[in-house]
Chain A
Amino acid sequence: MVIGAIGHYVRTFLQTVSSLIWLLIDMVAEMGDHISRGRLPFRRSVFFEQGERAGLGSVPLVCMVSFFLGLTMALLTGYQLRTFGTERLVPGLITIAFWRELGPLMTGIILAARIGAAYTAELGTMTVSEEVEAIEAMGLGPLRFLVAPRLTALVVLMPALVVMSNLAALFGTYMICQISFNINGHNFIDLVLEALILKDVVLGMAKSLLFGLIIGLIACYSGLTVKGGAAGVGNATTKSVVATITTVIGVDTFLNMLQVNVLNN
């Protein structure tokens, strides 16, 4: 019985993963068809609209959360390190933590909740009201028309949001360093630059691109496969947020293990 249940979950998981991959492949194929006819892969206006919503609209929340997280981390670690007289390590510690790990992760979680939920609800509502099918029936390619601009906006803007998140966290850290640990502005910048290495920046940015892709794919797929009217849209939105956040954290953990154990850094 337990083995049967495990088998069922494994099969469902593999089916979902293969569906996500096919969604991506079909979307690229539809875009390729449109490009080969000398047209843009999707509407510029929809891309900018989604970009404004996913990117610009998320800046205040991402910055606020990262600012307070940076501030709290600096405060807590600083007081512990002061016991050993090493509070000067705080700026470097926060820099490495955010550029390498927390920036992409926090931004991913925030966007999964804010934009992933919106994508699922929006596409889900369009699915149950047959708007998606109408787009398909017109021969427009719903994946190219609906999914591609949303996914592209999210993937392209994730790195920018991660940079904003990292800067907001460092600003919070700077305030604590200035107020509580007597580290002035020049010192703070020197300590940050000393800790910041290109590899961490590149890894952080690569993670952010991957998280953008994961969030967009799961959210759009959940919306396009909604069944059962308004209640179905609600259920799909909840499941989509849970799935995107869990997947982002899971993939992040896997990448960290890979980085530490295989790449030895």
Chain B
Amino acid sequence: MAPASPSSSATRPATPPAGEQPLVRLEDVVLRFGPKTVLDGISFTVERGERLVVMGQSGGGKSTLLRLVMGILKPSSGRVLFAGTDVARLTRRQLNAMRARLGMVYQYSALISSFTVRDNLALPLEELTEKSAAEIDEMIRERLAAVDMSGSEDKMPSELSGGMRKRVGLARALMLEPELILYDEPSAGLDPVTSSVIDELIVDTSARTKSSAIIVTHEMDSAFRIATRMIMLYQGKVIADGSPEKFRNSDSEVVAQFVSGSTHGPIGEAAHQRK
């Protein structure tokens, strides 16, 4: 297989051609950790150019879902397909090539703490592409400017605030011009203004690079700002799937309680029953 080469956003169509397969498809995915069933028959798709927000309670398997898409975890049963290919059946080499087509933004950024911002951003390019040092420097400048972090190349991650680290994390995820960006709780732990800035950045990035995104969050304001589609996980199943508007006006008691943040409703009762 050829070395993982980043696809160019310039050549990527803004809207998918008719009949094109979804970028991500989960088919009846079950994931068990020992006796515990974390995901219980999950099925959904992510179309090209779509921003899918995955909502659900803490510990409900949302981040696990991202790890399944990346091929870090394998489903106990069911299939996870990326661009039509079953992720669980890929060889190590094919899996690494597929991962180069994805970008992941972690909740706590996961920047390599012993590397400067520049080295963090250069890492995927130096390891996976044949680009020259000058080209890499130019791309780093570009990506940092896109996330409003110009001039921070020589800073260490420990010198950055939470919001700045998130932006550098996003810049790193964008280095290989991914087709799909996975966000794990992008607004968690940030003040409302910084949270809005990150949300805008996610929407801008998606529009500018024509990439798809799966965003895991339980911050409702962020979810509605970002999403073109939403799904909600509850007790290991997808209980709602639709547009943000559909979620706002949902008849489901669970969805309504989650969206309003009320302490009274089926979510609390179920938790009490489990205890």
A residues at B contact (CB < 8 Å): 29-30, 33, 37, 125-126, 129-131, 133-141, 145
Contact A131 B93 (CB under 8 A): no
In the complex, whether B127 has a CB less than 8 A from a CB of chain A is yes
Closest to B95 in A: A139
B residues at A contact (CB < 8 Å): 3-4, 67, 70, 72, 92-93, 95-100, 102, 104, 106-108, 110-113, 123-124, 127-128, 176
Cross-chain pairs A/B with CB under 8 angstroms, 23 sampled: A29-B92, A33-B92, A33-B93, A126-B113, A129-B110, A129-B113, A130-B108, A133-B72, A133-B110, A135-B112, A136-B72, A137-B99, A137-B104, A138-B100, A138-B123, A138-B127, A138-B128, A139-B98, A139-B99, A140-B96, A140-B124, A140-B127, A141-B96
B107 — which chain A residues lie within 8 A by C-beta?
A: 130
A136 — which chain B residues lie within 8 A by C-beta?
A: 70, 72, 99
Interface of A is mostly: helix
Contact of A134 among B93, B106, B176 (CB under 8 A): B106
B97 — which chain A residues lie within 8 A by C-beta?
A: 139
Contact A37 B99 (CB under 8 A): no
How distant is the Cα of A174 from the Cα of B104 in the complex, in angstroms? Answer: 61
Contact B112 A134 (CB under 8 A): yes
CB distance from B145 to the nearest CB of A (A): 22
A137 — which chain B residues lie within 8 A by C-beta?
A: 70, 72, 99, 102, 104
A129 — which chain B residues lie within 8 A by C-beta?
A: 108, 110, 113
A139 — which chain B residues lie within 8 A by C-beta?
A: 4, 95-100, 124, 128
B123 — which chain A residues lie within 8 A by C-beta?
A: 138, 140
How distant is the Cα of A129 from the Cα of B109 in the complex, in angstroms? Answer: 9
Contact B110 A131 (CB under 8 A): yes
How distant is the Cα of A145 from the Cα of B127 in the complex, in angstroms? Answer: 10
Contact B96 A33 (CB under 8 A): yes
How distant is the Cα of A134 from the Cα of B107 in the complex, in angstroms? Answer: 11
How distant is the Cα of A231 from the Cα of B97 in the complex, in angstroms? Answer: 35
Contact of B124 among A37, A126, A130, A138 (CB under 8 A): A138
B67 — which chain A residues lie within 8 A by C-beta?
A: 133
Contact of B104 among A33, A126, A134, A140 (CB under 8 A): A134
How distant is the Cα of A134 from the Cα of B113 in the complex, in angstroms? Answer: 12
How distant is the Cα of A210 from the Cα of B272 in the complex, in angstroms? Answer: 55
Closest to A141 in B: B96
